[in-house]
Structure 1
């Protein structure tokens, strides 16, 4: 009788452990199929938050060549992680112009400017990594940004599809990593996510940088 009870208890324990492990595994964050260097720029936790709120993440380690100059046109905000954001959903901002060059596989150099006349921010790239397959890609930009007295480290996540006309279905995800000198709280808090999309659905290909056509 004791042997039967022991075997029964052992079976129940094994079943409980299996169910517990299955639940634990199902709750683990998704492992994105993107270059390891991209995960060093932005954690998979933040990538998952962006994806869950409308950001397209094009996975893969064989991205297209994205070299060129692209103007986003007016961007419209579709998501903010802030409960009381000064920018409401639907907020519009002026165009950004991106320059991608010297691409080697999943690595590419990036420059960009805010095309708004009143913009004061200046960005210096730490590095850009690309994921994707075919003509679809997602680029992860690690940037040092100076805006007057404030210095920040931002991550920009750009997604779309390369076409002869530009980047189709262009999206721009933003994450504030860190900031210094913001004594008045002019910048959003660290950890803030915003997601923007091109109103025209196309970041138009340009010939000149930082200005011109």
Structure 2
């Protein structure tokens, strides 16, 4: 039987190959770790948005005519704005009596504490999901003068509660928002009560004169009751 001869050159070659493999693995691990430690702005924003509203519901709202403004350099939109006449654009709710063109109660939104570092912003609304809405987690995207705000609202109705995505897009124009549009969609109905729209159902509405001017948010009073929440039946609330 022929004896296998291992030369020093072979050993050195194998050593070099092993060192090369180890080097590549360590470099890949270092890059992956560095990516986790220092994520890009796009990665930070994408994760924040996904935590608020899964992509499938974003797609559903865009099919209803909602506009998404992407980017990591949105304008500063801190302020309070009035949506009037707040007009239905579309709905995917079966037998919805709020047809396109239906004028809703005026909507008011307050946006504040916008952060350029983590794309967070705080949002309060009146007559969007319910008579009074507080987003539990919010993000903002956009570039130039265009923006989209992504919020999640917990709304109570008939002994249960649901989580809704509350999105708003527009273009900052001086002290106003131009082409303001809002989208509402149920994204979690696992604790719902009767008479509430189902998961995946929602509406899109817009400012009918295409200009949402500044307003005194605190003067827009609303009586908060369980029934003043988005439902499958007509009410004063969207």
Common fold by TM > 0.5: yes
SS in 2 for 1:121: coil
Could you list the per-position Cα deviations for residues 31-68 of structure 1 after superposition, in whole angstroms to 9, with x for gaps in the alignment?
x9963201221122221222233111101111111100
Provide structure 2 residue ranges, at least 5 long, that are not aligned to the other structure. Answer: 1-41, 221-238
Q: How many residues align?
A: 175
- Whether 2:112 is the aligned partner of 1:101: answer yes
Could you say which residue in structure 2 is the equivalent of 1:89? Answer: 100
Deviation of 1:154 (Å): 1.1
TM-score normalised over the length of structure 1: 0.74
Provide structure 1 residue ranges, at least 5 long, that are not aligned to the other structure. Answer: 1-31
Distance 1:43 1:181, change over 3 A: closer
Structure number with the higher strand fraction is 1
Q: Which runs of 4+ in 1 moved over 4 A?
A: 147-150
From 213, 217, 224, the equivalent of 1:209 is 217
CA distance in 2, matches of 1:141, 1:92: 23
Deviation of 1:127 (Å): 1.4
SS in 2 for 1:55: coil
Deviation of 1:147 (Å): 4.7
**Larger C-alpha radius of gyration, 1 or 2?**
2
Matches within 5 A, 1:21-170: 35-105=46-116, 106-114=119-127, 121-147=131-157, 149-170=159-180
Work out whether residues 122 and 147 of structure 1, in 8 Å CA contact, stay in contact via their aligned partners in 2: no
Could you say which residue in structure 1 is the equivalent of 2:17? Answer: none
Could you say which residue in structure 1 is the equivalent of 2:207? Answer: 198
Deviation of 1:84 (Å): 1.6
SS in 1 for 2:57: helix
CA distance in 1, matches of 2:155, 2:213: 24
